[in-house]
Amino acid sequence: VSTQSTWGLQVEVFPPIELSSKKDMFAQVSKLWDSETVDSVNARLREIEIANENMLDEKFKEDKTSFMVKFISSAAYCRYWKFVQTLNSSVEGKPLNKLQQLYNEHLQSPQLSPQPFSPSISILLQLLDSIDQSIQDHPPLSPSLPSSTSSSSSSSQIPSTTDPPQSLSSPSTSTFRFGNPMYRQFLSNLPNVYNSSLDTLFSHVSPEKLQEKNANSGCCSHERSNEQSQPHSHNHGNDTKHSLSKLQNDVKGYLQESFGNIRRIDYGTGHEMNFLCFLYCLHDLGLFGSCEYDLQAIGLLVFRRYIHLVRKLQMTYWIEPAGSRGVWGLDDYHFLPFLFGSSQLIGHQYIRPRSVRYEEIYNGFYEDYLYLDQIRFLMTVKTCSFAEHSPLLNDITVVKSWRQVNEGLQRMYEGEVLGKYPIVQHFIFSSFLPQDAVREVNQSDLKHLHNTETPCCSDSIRFPSAIAARSQLQ
C-alpha cells in the first residue's frame, strides 16, 4: 500500500514480518511472493527512493541557497575576507628569516622603544606551544595495548613535523585509518590548556576598546534595551564584566573549532578559517596591529606555528581531511599557506613558480617561505609524483609570476572556500563577525551552487588520511 508520510515522503506499507536481519527479510519475502512480484516491488521501491531523493535535493538546494545568500551578504563575510587580504598584503615579499631574527632581538631587548611587536604576539606563540605540549599528554591509542597503559608506552612515538617519511609509520595508529579516538580527548582538554593564555590576552584589552565593542555589538542589543527599560537594575561594573565574558566566549568558540571536529575526527579549510576568525577577533579588540611588524608576525610567525601544530596533529592522530576532493583539490587540509606563501615570493629574484618542482629549491628555502614549506610537506607524505598527487599545484608552476599566482589563489579562495556551502555551513556568527547584511548578492556570487557537491560532514563517505595511507604501506 502506497501512502504519504508526515513529511510528504512516499512510503510502502508491508504486512508485519518479524526479522532478525536484512537477509531474513529477503528470504521471507521470496517465500510470500513469486519472483515477478518481488521484482515489481523492488522496481516500485526504487521509483519511490528516486522521487524522495529528488524532493530532498530540491529542499536542500533551497536551504543551501538561502544560507549562502545570508553568508555572502553578511558583515562576517566582508570583515573576514578583508582581514585575509590585509594579512596577504602585509607579508608580500617578506621572507620569514628576517622577521624571525627581528623577533628574537625583540625578545632579548624588550625595553626598546618603539616596540616592533605587540605583547600579544608572544602570548599567542606561547598559547600554541602549550597546545603542542598537550599532545604529549594524549598519545594515540595503541590497539595492542589497553588504553590505561598506552599513555606510558606511546608518548615517545609522537612524530615531529620535520621528520622524514619513514618516521611517519607508527604502530600506535595502525588500525585507526580514519583517525585515532584519543584525538577526542585531546580536543576535550583544550579549554584547560588555552584558558589561562586567553585570560592574559584579555587583560591587555583597553577599557575604551571594550566599551566601544560593547556599544557596537549587535549581540548585546537585547541587554542594552533591558538596561534602558530598567536603568537601576544593574551597575556598570557588572555590565562590563558580562560583556567581557560574552566576548571571551565568542573568541574561545573560534579557537576551539580551529583544530578539527571532535565527532568526525577530521580537519579542513573550514577549521583553518576558524583560526583566522580567532585572530580577527583579537585584532578587532586592538590586541595587535598597533606596532610596525604585528601583521607580518601574525601572517608568518603565528600562522606558521599554527600550521606546524595542526600538521603534528595530522601525523599523530591520522585526522581525516574534511571534504577532501582528492587530487582535484589544492590540498587535503589547507589553503592559506599557499596564499600567504605566494605573496611572500612576489618579486623574488630567483625563485619562480616553476622552481617549486625541484627538490633543492623546496628543501633549501622551506624555512623562509610558507609555500615551499607546504610543498615540501606534501612531497614527504605523498607517495607518487608531484604531477599525480597535486595536479593543480603542478599546473600553477606554468604561471609566469608569483603575483599572478597570488591573484589567482585569491579568486580561488573566494570561490572554493568562502563560496562553498559544505565548508561555510558550520560558520560561527558572533558579535565580532555578525550575520547582519551589509551588501547585495549578485547571481554571479552564487554560481557555485549549480555544482553538485557532497557535504563535508557526510557520515556515509569517509576520506582516509594520506599520512595514514603511507604509513600503512610502510
Q: What is the pLDDT at residue 249?
A: 93
Strand pairing report for 320-321 and 266-267 = parallel
Over range 134-139, report the average pLDDT. 93
C-alpha cell, 432: 565580532
Say what the pLDDT of residue 473 is: 56
CA angle 306, 131, 262 (to 5 degrees): 85
What is the reported pLDDT for 26?
52
Instruction: With both helix axes pointing from N to C terminus, report the angle between 75-90 and 269-284 in degrees, rounded to the nearest 10.
Output: 90
DSSP track, 199-239: HHHHTTS-HHHHHHHHHH-GGGHHHHHHHHHSTTSS-HHHH
Both ends of the chain: CA-CA distance in Å? 56
Instruction: Give the single-character DSSP code of 444.
Output: G
Residue 362 has pLDDT above 80, yes or no: yes
Tell me the C-alpha distance between 159 and 34, whole Å. 60
* Cell numbers 512480484: residue: 37
Residue scoring higher pLDDT (20 or 358): 358
| pLDDT band at 243; cut points 50, 70, 90 | confident
> Mean of the pLDDT values across residues 381-409?
92
* H-type alpha helices, 114-164: 119-136, 147-153
Around Cβ 436, how many Cβ atoms within 10 Å?
Answer: 11
> Grid coordinates representing 110?
624588550
Is 326 or 413 the better-scoring residue by pLDDT? 413
188 pLDDT band, cuts 50/70/90, is very high
pLDDT for the residue numbered 130: 96
Comparing 181 with 454, which gets the higher pLDDT?
181
Average pLDDT for 277-303? 95
Mean per-residue pLDDT for 103-113?
85
Interval 58-65 mean pLDDT: 66
* Element housing 77 (H / E): helix 75-90
pLDDT at 186 over 80: yes
Per-residue model confidence (pLDDT) at position 160 = 55
DSSP per-residue string spanning 161-189: TT--GGGG--GGGTT-TT--THHHHHHHT
What is the rounded CA–CA span in Å between residue 49 and residue 394? 42
Higher pLDDT, 134 or 65: 134
Q: What is the pLDDT of residue 467?
A: 59
Go through 321-344 and write b for each residue having 16 or more CB atoms within 10 A of its CB, e for each that does not.
bbbbeebebbbbbbbbbbbbbbbb
